[in-house]
Structure 1
Amino acid sequence: MPRAVLQPFLITAVVGLVALFGYWVQAPWLIPSVGASAFIQLLLPDKPAGQAYDTGVGQLVGMVAGFASVLVTGAAAAPVMSETHGIALVRVGAVVLAVFLTSAVQVPLKALSAAGAAVAVLIAAGVASTSWASFGVIAASIGLVTVLGEVARRTLLAVER
């Protein structure tokens, strides 16, 4: 089966399984970076960005950067960045700091993940809460998409041989 035919099915399977796990445990595991990670893993399966290290570590860096930026700026008390809540300057600062920290740590670790920047922005903008429960849910979704995506990526590469 050609790569272009198999890729959409594998991407959908990875995202769908993460969504089902979230449904099963009744937690929002389907964060935006899950879709981005599945795309990168399966559309660039033979590139470093598509491999488990970049996917997992890059997103974990973004998650920690997002939480750290909210803590450092004091943005936790500010409203979520949205059309209905307006935009607080402290949230803007948290987002800028989160993106900076994500890239500043990903580069020396050679764990480049655009999805990691998405996680950082999600947290810094207040879309995800900064509770320990949220930390766990986000970490679990990152772990699950990393593992499922890696299995799908290896399957794709094996089918091509």
Structure 2
Amino acid sequence: AYLGMTGKRISSPADALFIGLGTHYVPSGDLGSLKESLLSANFTADPHKDVESLLTGYKKEPESVPQLEKLLPDIVSSFGPDKSATESVEELKKRTQSGDATVSEWANDALAGLKKGAPFSLCLTQKHFSRVASSYGNNENYLSKVVSCILYHLTFLFPSVFLILLFGTFSWLVL
């Protein structure tokens, strides 16, 4: 709910890896070489393993540490699935008084982001993400079934199409 309600973005490779948005960081200078390697690869019966092997050869550690790692407890307690939009605002106001400058600055930035949104949209966004969070890992929930169904159909219909997240953009690679 935090990103959706505040309009904040994941702005570093370290944060993208930390929250599980990505699995490998490949510096932009190596992307051309990676693309060539993927296009010229001789894939076996296990293309996932082949791509994983190629990516492992190109991956590097991000230059920075994940900023979200320190803020995660504050994000979860301020924007947790049990919080209403109003409760999130109240929680953030408390955190602006934190003795930790990083937390205080984060809370002020989050409040500024919330003020840009329409109140009804904030409530709707919070409600949606609350439902998503509560359905996580619950295979009987309709949200889980919809996502599973879409992923199954994509992989069944297009087995040679990979979605690769290159920091900041999605690239479709057809092999």
**Greater RCO between the two (CA within 8 Å, min separation 6)?**
1
Name the TM-score, length of structure 2 as normaliser: 0.27
The structure that has the greater radius of gyration is: 2
More helix by percentage: 1
Name the TM-score, length of structure 1 as normaliser: 0.28
